[in-house]
């Protein structure tokens, strides 16, 4: 390889969605600049899953990867939350990351930058060790980035957290953002004694130390938050960056074949992302509600969680058939109306399909942007992390999603499921959301065009990197 060939190293944090986000960033970079080379250095909390192996083995030739030595689980606190585990996995991997970078710099690669995930910011110290600029690729909304940057300042608005319920003196008003209510932040402002609080403070500090933040959003989607962020830090909105295709297996191709037989704009796609699971009671209510709605659906079903909705995010799913947990007779009764698929579906192909009309989603940002680029309006069903914040954006700001009401036990009952499905699929409100989503879809295409705002933002960063070649 020519010594002048520019190269970047990327450091994701554990979690399939974070790895996919960084890979898609790398593909976008290589699409715009085929002369670049990318190496992904992957911290791990355990042996690679089959899905991770499948993803890594399908990488294009210009993207290499190294799986860093597994972090000793005895070095991690028991019962830590996923965000803290992601951060700690990177922190404990810094020596092996430094060694891997040393190996890269001794080869013919000419490293020009280290690109980190949001929860990989501790690796900035390794970038400084090698005199490399450190950029953070934030794969979520500008509003969530604003929350993280301002997090150390916001605890004063909390009134109480009795019985796990957050109460605020007033809605949280972040610069340029819509006001956020307590329900949008319920699992994002922990007690100051909690590990998660310390994690958020550490991430906030790291973000402020970065040489720049690459944001997976675009100006026409979040103009207010983006402008406010750029008043504080070098923030580059380069999105929407999403997968262009899935790894389709014979199993997952069955659902596409089923979609081919359905009328245009007739199907609701139901999926809770790569790690979202529902308690058994909620799984039942969702099933009965979909059946009650009478509308066609394609549902990615997972085995229920024992409690935490994020229980499978950093862990393998139970080795069981998730269809066994559906209500008795459900699959037989809904034949013709619905199609259930176990654990995973080729999401981007499903959303692009002409038979798919809407998306019942957990509101992860990857899924949100995939819905935007495919022009599908949504039912917002957030589970954990910043998903409730994203749901507020979709419902209150973008006005492209319905948000079901929960009962006093936090369960969306079957009648409510049926109501929001009917409203999305056949009501005037659903039609208006579809029209608005079409406008965002057009804006996304324009942003990623040759002279689009997101492409121009990406080029500004790459120009800085290229100036470090010599």
Domain range for 265 is 250-444
Inside any domain, residue 89: yes
**Cβ-contact 276, 385 below 8 angstroms:** no
Instruction: Transcribe 338-377 into DSSP letters.
Output: EEEEES---HHHHHHSTTEEEEEE---HHHHHHHHHHT-E
Inside any domain, residue 1: no
| Residues 215, 257 within the same domain | no
| Residues 164, 226 within the same domain | yes
| Residues 224, 336 within the same domain | no
**Cβ-contact 217, 237 below 8 angstroms:** yes
| Residues 177, 308 within the same domain | no
Inside any domain, residue 245: no
**Cβ-contact 314, 339 below 8 angstroms:** no
- Per-residue pLDDT tens over the stretch 383-399: 988 999 999 999 999 99
Mark 239-256 as b/e (b = at least 16 C-beta within 10 Å): bbbbbeeeeeeeebeebb
Inside any domain, residue 391: yes
| Residues 301, 418 within the same domain | yes
Mark 174-208 as b/e (b = at least 16 C-beta within 10 Å): bebbbebbbebbebbbbeeeebbbebbebbbebbe
Question: Residue 385 belongs to a domain with what CATH number?
Answer: 3.40.50.2000
Number of domains in the chain: 2
Query: Which residues are 305's β-sheet partners?
Result: 279
| Residues 462, 413 within the same domain | no
**Cβ-contact 216, 140 below 8 angstroms:** yes
Residues 6+ apart with CB under 8 A from 298: 255, 258, 259, 267, 268, 269, 270, 338, 339, 341, 345, 350, 356
| Residues 134, 272 within the same domain | no
Per-residue pLDDT of the chain in tens (470 residues, 90 and over written 9): 445 688 999 999 988 888 999 999 999 999 999 999 999 999 998 888 887 888 899 899 999 999 999 998 888 888 889 899 999 999 999 999 999 999 888 666 789 999 999 999 999 999 999 999 999 999 999 999 999 999 999 878 888 877 668 899 999 999 999 999 999 998 899 888 889 999 999 999 999 999 999 999 999 999 999 999 999 999 999 999 999 888 666 667 899 999 999 999 999 999 998 778 999 999 999 999 999 999 999 999 999 987 555 444 555 555 688 999 999 999 999 999 999 999 889 999 999 999 999 999 999 999 999 999 999 999 999 998 899 999 999 999 999 999 999 999 999 999 999 999 999 999 999 999 999 999 999 999 999 999 999 999 999 999 999 887 54
Query: Which residues are 335's β-sheet partners?
Result: 338
Inside any domain, residue 87: yes
Q: What are phi and psi of 35, to 5 degrees?
A: -80, -10
- Per-residue pLDDT tens over the stretch 78-104: 888 989 999 999 999 999 999 999 988
Q: Which of 41, 36, 213 is nearest to 110 (CA)?
A: 36
| Residues 136, 10 within the same domain | yes
| Residues 216, 263 within the same domain | no
Q: What are phi and psi of 390, to 5 degrees?
A: -60, -40
| Residues 341, 454 within the same domain | no
pTM of the model: 0.93
| Residues 35, 67 within the same domain | yes
| Residues 268, 149 within the same domain | no
């Amino acid at each position: 390889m020519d010594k002048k060939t520019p190269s970047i190293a990327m450091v994701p944090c554990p979690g399939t969605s974070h790895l996919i986000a960084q890979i898609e960033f790398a593909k976008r970079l290589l699409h715009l600049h085929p002369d670049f080379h990318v190496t992904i250095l992957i911290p791990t909390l355990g042996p690679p899953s089959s899905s991770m192996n499948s993803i890594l083995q399908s990488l294009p030739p210009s993207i290499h990867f190294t799986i860093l030595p597994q972090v000793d689980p005895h070095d991690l606190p028991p019962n830590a939350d996923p965000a803290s585990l992601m951060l700690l996995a990177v922190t404990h991997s810094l020596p092996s990351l430094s060694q891997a970078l040393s190996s890269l710099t001794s080869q013919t690669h000419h490293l020009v930058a280290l690109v980190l995930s949001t929860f990989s910011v501790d690796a900035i110290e390794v970038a400084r060790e090698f005199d490399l600029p450190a950029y953070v690729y934030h794969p979520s909304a500008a509003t969530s980035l604003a929350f993280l940057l301002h997090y150390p300042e916001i605890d004063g608005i909390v009134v109480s957290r009795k019985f796990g319920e957050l109460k605020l003196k007033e809605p949280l008003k972040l610069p340029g953002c819509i006001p956020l209510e307590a329900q949008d932040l319920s699992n994002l402002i922990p007690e100051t004694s909690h590990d998660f609080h310390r994690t958020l403070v550490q991430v906030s500090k790291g973000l402020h130390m970065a040489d720049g933040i690459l944001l997976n959003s675009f100006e026409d989607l979040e103009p207010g938050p983006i402008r406010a962020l750029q008043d504080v830090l070098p923030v580059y909105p380069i999105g929407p960056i999403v997968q262009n295709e899935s790894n389709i297996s014979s199993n997952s191709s069955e659902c596409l074949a089923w979609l081919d037989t359905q009328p245009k704009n007739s199907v609701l796609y139901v999926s809770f992302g790569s790690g979202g699971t529902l308690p058994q009671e909620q799984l039942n209510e969702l099933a009965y509600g979909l059946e009650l709605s009478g509308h066609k659906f394609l549902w990615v079903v997972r085995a229920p969680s024992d409690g935490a909705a994020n229980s499978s995010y950093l862990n393998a799913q139970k080795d069981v058939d998730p269809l066994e947990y559906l209500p008795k007779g459900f699959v037989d009764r809904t034949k013709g109306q619905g199609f259930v698929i176990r654990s995973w579906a080729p999401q981007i192909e499903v959303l692009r399909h002409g038979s798919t009309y809407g998306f019942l989603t957990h509101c992860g940002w990857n899924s949100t942007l995939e819905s935007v680029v495919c022009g599908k309006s949504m039912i917002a069903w957030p589970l954990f992390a910043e998903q409730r914040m994203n749901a507020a954006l979709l419902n209150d700001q973008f006005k492209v999603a319905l948000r079901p009401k929960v009962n006093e036990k936090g369960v969306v009952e079957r009648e409510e499921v049926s109501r929001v499905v009917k409203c999305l699929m056949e009501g005037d409100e659903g039609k208006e959301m579809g029209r608005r989503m079409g406008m965002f879809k057009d804006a996304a295409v324009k942003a990623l065009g040759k002279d689009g705002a997101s492409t121009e933002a990406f080029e500004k960063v790459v120009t800085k990197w290229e100036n470090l070649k010599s």
